């Protein structure tokens, strides 16, 4: 008789779990973003795999809880990103298209690059006297720190430039007022022995910068034909059209009256020109460094610092990428939750099911002992 009660109790427990457990699995809607990417250069499958890994690392750097799936098909990369915060999906375009090549340059010589960066710390955002500032601390290797110390020894007040994805091997034509700006104290230290900003980038990246005047268009064309690539900043007239007609690659940037220096920094990939303090020029290596900048709003500061954090935390992309499309949608994800009835009142969860099972077993024991 006791055996019958045992069998009956086991059946009751199994039925209880089979009926109630499905209610304990709920469906949650999560955001999903699908990014389709094209590599602008012919790349082997191995390089595409490497590119996909770098992009996934960047996404996890800014959104650790996101789940990312990558696919490669016909030379294109598709990233399926689930669970990323909506405000961070706005960074995906730049996260993909920025190659992320970092250069620390002094007096026209590149002192450190991505391979010299050991660690990047979380950005710090502050409001100082009504102005939003952000800082991104990072650490460089012993070798890079020693090279830097040797280069800047005794050069207090000299500028150190930090670039991300600067143009290389090209001609930059600027509006006259912008050309005067890069020759001012905003970019130059005005210290005897310190070379000009335009000369620094010429030596470091083979970039020639000249002012635009309608009278010198013929000389501009001659220089452009030798460089094959021209960047126009704030120029007027039909110079762009004339250069394109000759088959020269031209990139053009307009100038905002509110922030005329922004196109210069954006075009050159200049994160900042920092004046060396005495503590940096003693000849002793310093491994801990920092990138700092001003932003007009907290949102802008958060965007810029977060994007740079992701780029510095990963390897640079071996090829230039282009975003074909970014599609935002939602998907469902099953997860264990507290059991709820149709009227949304809490009934029981997994723990309650276990207690119910224990209760039934106690009833069985009582019946068996009573027998």
* Domain CATH number, residue 181: 3.40.50
Q: Domain range spanning residue 366?
A: 2-28+336-370
In a domain, 179, yes or no: yes
Residues near 96 by beta carbon (within 8 Å), at least 6 away in sequence: 35, 37, 55, 321, 323
Same domain, 257 and 192: yes
Domain end point (choices 268, 288, 319): 268
Same domain, 198 and 148: no
| CA-based nearest residue to 319, from 72, 101, 66 | 101
Q: What's the confidence (pLDDT) of residue 345? A: 40
Same domain, 150 and 288: yes
Spatial distance between the Cα atoms of 138 and 274, rounded to a whole number of angstroms: 15
In a domain, 59, yes or no: no
Q: What's the confidence (pLDDT) of residue 111? A: 96
In a domain, 144, yes or no: yes
Same domain, 214 and 241: yes
In a domain, 205, yes or no: yes
Q: What's the confidence (pLDDT) of residue 341? A: 37
Q: Is the backbone of residue 85 left (phi > 0), alpha (psi -120 to 50) or beta?
A: beta
Same domain, 198 and 256: yes
In a domain, 135, yes or no: yes
Mean pLDDT by 10 residues, the chain (371 residues): 58 56 58 90 83 95 92 91 89 93 97 96 92 95 97 95 93 89 81 91 94 82 82 84 86 68 80 91 95 90 94 93 91 50 43 55 57 51
Burial class (CB in 10 A: 0-12, 13-18, 19+), 293: middle
Same domain, 205 and 235: yes
Same domain, 117 and 156: yes
* Inter-residue contact 144 to 112 (CB < 8 Å): yes
In a domain, 346, yes or no: yes
In a domain, 92, yes or no: no
In a domain, 315, yes or no: no
Q: What's the confidence (pLDDT) of residue 340? A: 38
Q: What's the confidence (pLDDT) of residue 6? A: 58
Q: What's the confidence (pLDDT) of residue 235? A: 85
Same domain, 148 and 278: yes
Helix 350-370 and helix 2-20, axial crossing angle in degrees, nearest 10: 170
Same domain, 17 and 149: no
Q: How many residues does the chain have?
A: 371
Bridge-based pairing state of the strands 159-164 and 321-336: unpaired
Same domain, 346 and 360: yes
Q: Quick one: tokens of 34?
A: 């699908």
**Number of Cβ atoms within 10 Å of the Cβ of 34:** 15
Q: What's the confidence (pLDDT) of residue 13? A: 57
Supply angle C-alpha 295, 116, 167, rounded to 5.
55
Same domain, 172 and 191: yes
**Number of Cβ atoms within 10 Å of the Cβ of 130:** 5
| CA-based nearest residue to 36, from 316, 325, 351, 339 | 325
Same domain, 9 and 143: no
Domain count across the chain: 3
Residues facing 323 on adjacent strands: 37
């Amino acid at each position: 008789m006791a055996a019958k009660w045992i069998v009956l109790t086991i059946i009751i427990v199994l039925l209880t779990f089979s009926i109630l457990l499905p209610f304990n699995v709920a469906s949650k809607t999560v955001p999903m973003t699908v990014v389709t990417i094209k590599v602008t250069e012919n790349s082997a499958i191995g390089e595409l795999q490497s590119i996909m890994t770098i992009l996934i690392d960047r996404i996890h750097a800014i959104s650790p809880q996101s789940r990312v799936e990558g696919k490669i098909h016909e030379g294109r990369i598709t990233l399926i990103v689930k669970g990323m915060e909506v405000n961070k999906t706005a960074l995906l375009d730049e996260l993909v298209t920025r190659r992320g090549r970092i250069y620390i340059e002094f007096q026209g010589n590149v002192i450190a690059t991505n391979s010299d960066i050991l660690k990047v710390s979380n950005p710090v955002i502050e409001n100082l006297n009504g102005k939003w500032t952000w800082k991104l601390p990072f650490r460089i290797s012993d070798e890079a720190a020693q090279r830097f110390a040797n280069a800047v020894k005794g050069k207090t007040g000299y500028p150190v430039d930090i670039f991300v994805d600067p143009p290389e091997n090209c001609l930059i034509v600027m509006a006259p007022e912008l050309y005067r700006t890069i020759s001012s104290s905003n970019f130059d230290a005005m210290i005897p022995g310190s070379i000009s900003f335009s000369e620094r980038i010429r030596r470091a990246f083979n970039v020639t910068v000249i002012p635009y005047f309608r009278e010198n268009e013929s000389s501009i064309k001659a220089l452009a034909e030798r460089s094959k690539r021209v960047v126009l900043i704030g120029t007027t007239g039909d110079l762009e059209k004339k250069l394109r007609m000759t088959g020269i690659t031209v990139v053009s940037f307009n100038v905002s009256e509110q922030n005329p220096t922004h196109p210069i920094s954006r075009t050159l990939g200049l994160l900042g020109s920092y004046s060396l303090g005495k503590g940096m020029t003693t000849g002793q290596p310093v491994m801990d460094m920092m990138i700092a900048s001003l932003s007009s709003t907290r949102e802008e500061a958060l965007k810029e610092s977060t994007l740079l954090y992701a780029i510095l935390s990963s390897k640079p992309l071996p090829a230039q990428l282009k975003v074909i499309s970014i599609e935002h949608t939602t998907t469902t994800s099953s997860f264990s939750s507290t059991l709820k009835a149709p009227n949304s009142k809490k009934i029981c969860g997994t723990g309650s099911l276990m207690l119910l099972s224990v209760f039934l077993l106690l009833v069985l024991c009582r019946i068996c002992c009573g027998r």
